[in-house]
């Protein structure tokens, strides 16, 4: 007996029913997956919206970069899922000297807690912290020096002074005619080095452990302000100086010297002066004009002429606008002027005479912005706050005013 038409329809109907059930099941499953994905997206968006971090308290001591990152958002974070980049380079936590939350080695980073990070970088200019939700904080680094170097008025010794007034004397084996900043561990031995020029026109450096190194023994180094930094981005800190007949030069820790350009009179310092991500050497040319050059030999002028080639200071953000300026003595009123890459950027006229001497920088008043450390007409060290115009005398820890030799000035 053959299969009836009604039976065939029954089979077809059953097949349609099964197909419909399967289709509905797939659609329901897809809908659930879509809903789960949407829920995950919403959760991620919410977590991103609740996540915020803030970098603060950056400092560079003995070649070690230390900073705090505060969890300012609304949710806890995981330390293990937090990445750190310095100058664009990733630093694994295994290579860091310290990664602790409120002094505790933990993976839990709670709201309002501070994550302390310590690592070593040859010349840090910016740090970026990225959290597990992709929220990041970027901080340009204009690190406040903990010391200003100078030559003491009485015995001619090379010394440094901190904002707290702690004075350290360096046992140099030669007379000091010019000094550089105590900012970097140039030879990477764990101690900050102070470069200086001797009376016999040699370039040397000495650290607070007494280790002294001759960088350029040529006897033709000019006694002007010195610059320090990894200006050519090769991972090594160099000392920048003027030698011979106005040759702007940088020297590696091993004594390898490279000519940058000719026609220079003095060095102001090293920093990202034009805010383009590259380090620049800021210098005064033979005509007294403030100029800068990067490692690609891109040269530019500020259009500012200084009154004295030696009366400048290192590039730093003195007025808190996020850009670097170079201080220099105003020969007209014997005050202090600031210049950035675009030109003149502020004039300050204290109630006393500012000497035509090299200038230094540190945060004397503790407000988070570097101050211009300079020499007055009585050869005493003073600090100028470029945001308020306030000035102070600089005292040692015993309460005595720091008196310096004006020729080397401060750095």
pLDDT digits (tens, 9 = 90+) for 51-92: 899 987 677 654 578 888 999 999 999 999 999 998 788 999
Task: Enter the tokens of residue 303.
Answer: 């259009």
Whether the Cβ atoms of residue 50 and residue 75 lie closer than 8 Å to each other? yes
CATH number of 148-393: 2.120.10.30
State the pLDDT confidence band at 188, using cuts at 50, 70 and 90. Answer: confident
164: left (phi over 0), alpha (psi -120 to 50) or beta: alpha
What's the rounded Cα separation, in Å, for the pair 105 and 80? 11
Q: What is the pLDDT of residue 87?
A: 78
Query: Is the pLDDT reported for residue 324 higher than 50?
Result: yes
Q: If you search the block for the tokens 């807690």, which residue do you land on?
A: 113
Average pLDDT, the chain: 86
pLDDT in tens, 258-299: 999 999 999 999 999 998 888 999 999 999 999 999 999 999
Whether the Cβ atoms of residue 266 and residue 328 lie closer than 8 Å to each other? no
State the pLDDT confidence band at 192, using cuts at 50, 70 and 90. Answer: confident
Secondary structure of the chain: what % helix, strand, coil (to 5)?
Answer: 15, 45, 45
Q: What is the average per-residue pLDDT within 179-202?
A: 90
pLDDT in tens, 28-48: 665 555 555 455 544 555 556
Please, is 235 exposed, middle or buried when counting C-beta atoms within 10 Å of its C-beta (0-12, 13-18, 19+)? Answer: exposed
How many beta carbons lie within 10 A of that of residue 350, not counting itself?
Answer: 17
* Residues 6 or more apart whose Cβ sits within 8 Å of residue 26: none
Q: What is the pLDDT of residue 290?
A: 97
* Residues 6 or more apart whose Cβ sits within 8 Å of residue 167: 159, 160, 161, 396, 397, 402
Query: Is the pLDDT reported for residue 143 higher than 80?
Result: no
> How do beta strands 126-130 and 335-340 pair?
unpaired
Query: Is the pLDDT reported for residue 18 higher than 60?
Result: no
Residue ranges of domains in the chain: 53-140, 148-393
What's the rounded Cα separation, in Å, for the pair 300 and 275? 13
Q: Which residue has the higher pLDDT, 19 or 226?
A: 226
Beta bridge partners of 279: none
Q: What is the pLDDT of residue 263?
A: 97
Whether the Cβ atoms of residue 283 and residue 294 lie closer than 8 Å to each other? no
pLDDT in tens, 95-106: 999 999 999 999
Share of the chain above pLDDT 70, in %: 84
- Of 347, 281, 283, nearest to 318 (Cα)? 347
Please, is 30 exposed, middle or buried when counting C-beta atoms within 10 Å of its C-beta (0-12, 13-18, 19+)? Answer: exposed
Query: Is the pLDDT reported for residue 363 higher than 90?
Result: no
What's the rounded Cα separation, in Å, for the pair 115 and 98? 10
Q: Which residue has the higher pLDDT, 217 or 367?
A: 217
Q: What is the pLDDT of residue 163?
A: 82
What's the rounded Cα separation, in Å, for the pair 2 and 29? 41
Query: Is the pLDDT reported for residue 197 higher than 60?
Result: yes
Q: What is the average per-residue pLDDT within 233-255?
A: 93
Q: Does domain 53-140 have CATH number 1.10.15?
A: no
Task: Enter the tokens of residue 358.
Answer: 């090299």
Query: Is the pLDDT reported for residue 222 higher than 80?
Result: yes
Q: What is the pLDDT of residue 39?
A: 52
Q: What is the pLDDT of residue 240?
A: 97
Whether the Cβ atoms of residue 238 and residue 232 lie closer than 8 Å to each other? yes
Q: Which phi and psi (to 5°) does residue 93 adopt?
A: -65, -25
Q: What is the pLDDT of residue 16?
A: 61
Query: Is the pLDDT reported for residue 1 higher than 50?
Result: no
Q: Do 148-393 and 53-140 fall under one CATH topology?
A: no
Share of the chain above pLDDT 90, in %: 60
Whether the Cβ atoms of residue 178 and residue 226 lie closer than 8 Å to each other? yes
Q: What is the pLDDT of residue 144?
A: 45
Query: Is the pLDDT reported for residue 384 higher than 50?
Result: yes
Q: What is the pLDDT of residue 42?
A: 45
Whether the Cβ atoms of residue 190 and residue 159 lie closer than 8 Å to each other? no
Q: Which residue has the higher pLDDT, 350 or 17?
A: 350
> Any long-range contacts for 151-160 (C-beta under 8 Å, 24+ apart)?
151/176, 151/179, 151/404, 151/405, 151/407, 151/408, 152/403, 152/404, 152/405, 153/379, 153/403, 153/404, 153/405, 154/403, 156/405, 158/194, 158/196, 158/206, 160/194, 160/208
Please compute, for residue 350, the number of CA atoms within 13 A of its CA located in the half-sphere on the CB side: 25
Whether the Cβ atoms of residue 153 and residue 161 lie closer than 8 Å to each other? no
């Amino acid at each position: 007996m053959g299969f009836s038409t009604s039976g065939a329809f029954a089979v077809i109907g059953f097949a349609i029913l099964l197909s419909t059930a399967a289709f509905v099941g797939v659609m329901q499953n897809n809908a659930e997956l879509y809903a789960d994905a949407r829920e995950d997206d919403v959760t991620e968006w919410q977590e991103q919206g609740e996540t915020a971090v803030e970098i603060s308290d950056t400092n560079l001591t003995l070649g070690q970069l230390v900073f705090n990152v505060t969890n300012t958002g609304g949710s806890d974070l995981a330390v293990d899922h937090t990445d750190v980049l310095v100058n664009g380079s990733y630093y694994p936590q295994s290579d860091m000297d310290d990664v602790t939350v409120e002094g505790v080695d933990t993976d839990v980073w709670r709201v309002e807690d501070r994550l302390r990070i310590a690592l070593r970088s040859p010349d840090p200019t910016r740090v970026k912290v990225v959290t597990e939700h992709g929220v990041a904080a970027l901080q340009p680094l204009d690190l406040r020096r903990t010391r200003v170097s100078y030559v003491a008025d009485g015995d001619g010794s090379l010394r440094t002074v901190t904002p707290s007034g702690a004075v350290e004397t360096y046992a140099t084996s030669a007379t000091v005619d010019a000094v550089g900043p105590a900012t970097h561990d140039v030879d990477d031995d764990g101690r900050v080095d102070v470069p200086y020029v001797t009376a016999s026109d040699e370039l040397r450096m000495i650290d607070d452990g007494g280790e002294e190194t001759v960088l350029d023994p040529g006897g033709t180094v000019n006694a002007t302000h010195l610059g320090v930094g990894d200006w050519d981005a090769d991972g090594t800190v160099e000392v920048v100086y003027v030698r011979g007949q106005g040759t702007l030069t940088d020297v590696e820790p091993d004594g390898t010297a490279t000519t940058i350009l000719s026609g220079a009179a003095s060095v102001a310092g090293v920093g990202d002066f034009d805010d383009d991500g590259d380090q620049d050497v800021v210098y005064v040319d033979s005509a007294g004009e403030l100029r800068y050059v990067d490692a690609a030999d891109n040269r530019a002028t500020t259009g500012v002429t200084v009154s004295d080639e030696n009366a400048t200071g290192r590039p730093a953000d003195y007025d808190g606008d996020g850009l670097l300026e170079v201080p220099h003595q105003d020969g007209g009123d014997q005050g202090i002027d600031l210049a950035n890459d675009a030109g003149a950027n502020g004039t300050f006229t204290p109630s006393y005479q500012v000497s035509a001497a090299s200038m230094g920088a540190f945060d004397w008043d503790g407000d988070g912005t570097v101050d211009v450390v300079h020499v007055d007409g009585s050869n005493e060290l003073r600090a100028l706050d470029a945001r308020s115009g306030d000035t102070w005398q600089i005292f040692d820890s015993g309460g005595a005013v720091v008196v310096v030799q004006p020729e080397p000035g401060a750095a």
